[in-house]
Amino acid sequence: MLVLSRRKGESVMLGDNIEIQILHASGGQVRLGIRAPKELAVLRGELFSSVRQGNHEAAQMALDAAEVTELGKLLKKKGQD
């Protein structure tokens, strides 16, 4: 990982069209300003991680075909209630 020190108001460029600026830093918290092309996803790291984790859980073998059949029956039953 590249590590840089920056002061308030200074920025870092990623390539030529992504800029991350330090707006404010105090009490263990840093406020960032991010300028990036609008098609680029900018997400808090933990949100991206939770989506990735959710996808991995969805792809796990824990859910097998027989269970899906049972879930389908339950859903249909619920629909008729």
Partner 1 sequence: MQTQTTQGKPGSIVVKTLRFGDVEVPSAERITLLRALAGFPDTKTLVMLTLADQAPFHWLQSVEQPPVAFAVLPVELVRPGYTLKLPPWDRGLWDRQSSPEILALISFQRDATMNLAAPLLLDPRHRVALQVMNQAGYGLKEPLFGEAAARPQVAATA
Residues of this chain that bind partner 1 (CB under 8 A): 38-44, 47-48, 50-65, 67-69, 71-72, 74-76, 78-79
Numbers of helices and strands, H then E, in the chain: 2, 3
Residue 1 CB, nearest distance to partner 1 (Å)?
19
Q: How far is 70 from 78, CA to CA, in rounded Å?
A: 12
Residue 30 CB, nearest distance to partner 1 (Å)?
17
Give the nearer residue to partner 1 in terms of CB position, either 8 or 73: 73
Q: What is the distance, to the nearest Å, from the Cα of residue 75 to the centroid of all Cα atoms in its chain?
A: 30
